Structure 1
Amino acid sequence: MCQHRPECPSADSPDREAAVPVARHPEQGWSLLCNGVLLFEDTGELLPDGRVIAPRRTLLVAA
């Protein structure tokens, strides 16, 4: 459970990525957030219940 004040968003919350990182491994491309979410540098996520959130891609359009 989160010990931060204010409390970090839960893993089910839409703003779950705002939780405090408790472990960072930039050389491996991931961070573990206080709420149990594994956040990958490509914006993909692995939630504590095993669900996968696909990376968000930006579409570049030529002008």
Structure 2
Amino acid sequence: MNLLANNVGKVDRTVRVVLGVLLIANVFIAIQHPVGWLGVIMVITGAFGICPIYSLLGVNTKSAAEKIGLK
């Protein structure tokens, strides 16, 4: 089990980055709450395509084409 394996697909990465940015923005705009740290984690995992929790659970959200390097 490699915790630093690239296991996040393109759609999952996009969703993570968008939601992460929204959570971070929410801290500055409306709610002064530590939920922004969750947004930071989502942006980092989305940017690098690596999710250690997915590795621990054996989850891989990459499509078949992404796994063999076609996309």
* Same-fold status (TM-score > 0.5): no
Higher relative contact order structure (alpha carbons within 8 Å, sequence separation ≥ 6):
2
Compare the two structures and name the one with the higher strand fraction: 1
TM-score norm. by structure 1 comes to 0.24
TM-score norm. by structure 2 comes to 0.22
Compare the two structures and name the one with the higher helix fraction: 2
